[in-house]
Amino acid sequence: MLGLAVWGLAPEAAAQTRAPSPTLNAIRARGALICGVNANTPGFTTIDSRGAYRGLVADLCRGLAAAIFGDATKVRFVPLSFATRFTALSAGEVDLLFLTSTMTVMRDTTLGLRFVEPYFYDGHGFMARRDANLANVDALAGATICLNPGTTNEQITAEYFRSKGLQFTPLLLEQNEQVLAALSSGRCDAFGFDAAGLAAMRSALPNPNDWVILPERFSKEPYTAVVRRGDESWFEIARWFTFALVEAEEQGITAANAEERRRTSQDANVRRLLGAVPEVGPALQLDPAWAYNAIRAIGNYGELYNRSLGPDTPLAMPRGQNDLWTRGGLLYAPPFR
């Protein structure tokens, strides 16, 4: 690859030749990032008893705020439903969605939005009562299945049952609290959702062990940040922020050692990532220490995952495909050069 120096441009000069990001300018002017999130998805975003947002998605929002401002507290959370999330983003009510939103070709090409880079890989499944002793999903023929309207899960469930010539009754409920109540009362025989969401919902039920997540998976569900079209610079910031957390884990950079690594590392890739060499940040219209600030605030991807979804949490989800490519997962960051 040809470097900027070959073309006679320093990184700072190259950044100045690009149009400034109107979204980034608006964020800086108001002094806070506005992040659209789930409101009640354990492991991804929940609101604790003090009104603080917790979970993987909430931390991603804080990390991006730290990348922009050097301060992870400069973020405002806007809880959105699955049915309203894309409309809210299009209307400018939020700067981006870090909500559990699946990238699909139709969404990415027809909504006037851009789906960034996967931060979590999942697949559609079903959860049912353990005492139903279901051998497989086909045994749900004739069942009433809870689904969230406006999600890919609604479409996937309908398409699967139709392809098998099986009947089911959908019960569409927008809020997860409604789904929990319907499952607990027996209005639904099962719930169709992404596997991580099913694990989260099961952990919130009164008797989690009474429910089983069936092993079959029926889709690919890559969750990404989502931004409006027409601001390529903002798209790139969201994209490389996600990559930075993955690269940090691969390089062994943590919240605890980022300062020492920035000061002492002789690895060129690490020095560029952490801003010891002021190259990447200016290219993104950010401070050279943008990724360093984010990692110091929230940790690398593995730290995020373990804090919200790891073995010591109620969800206890194996990393699986959400592990680094060097360990058989799908997470892979392009070079920071």
pLDDT in tens, 158-170: 999 999 999 999 9
pLDDT of 3 higher than 90: no
Q: Is the pLDDT of residue 153 over 80?
A: yes
Tell me, what's the pLDDT at 203?
85
The answer to which of 65-69, 70-74, 220-224, 290-294 has the lowest mean pLDDT is 220-224
Q: pLDDT tens, 78-92?
A: 999 888 999 999 999
Q: What pLDDT, on a 0 to 100 scale, did the predictor assign at position 4?
A: 37
Q: Averaged over 15-37, what is the pLDDT?
A: 89
**Residue 85 backbone dihedrals phi, psi, to 5 degrees:** -60, -45
Q: How confident is the model at residue 1 (pLDDT cuts 50, 70, 90)?
A: very low
Residue 183 confidence class, pLDDT cut points 50, 70, 90: very high
Percentages of the chain per state (helix, strand, coil), in multiples of 5: 45, 20, 40
Long-range CB contacts (within 8 A, 24+) of 318-327: 321/121, 322/120, 322/121, 324/246, 324/249, 324/250, 326/250
Is the model's pLDDT at 310 over the cut of 90?
A: yes
- pLDDT reported for residue 19: 79
User: Which burial class, exposed, middle or buried, applies to 58 when counting CB atoms under 10 A from its CB (0-12, 13-18, 19+)?
Assistant: buried
What is this structure's pTM? 0.86
pLDDT the model gives residue 197:
85
Edge to edge, the sheet with strand 113-122 lists 75-79, 33-37, 96-97, 221-228, 113-122
pLDDT at 6 over 90: no
Residue 11 has pLDDT above 60, yes or no: no
pLDDT grade for 34, boundaries at 50, 70 and 90: very high
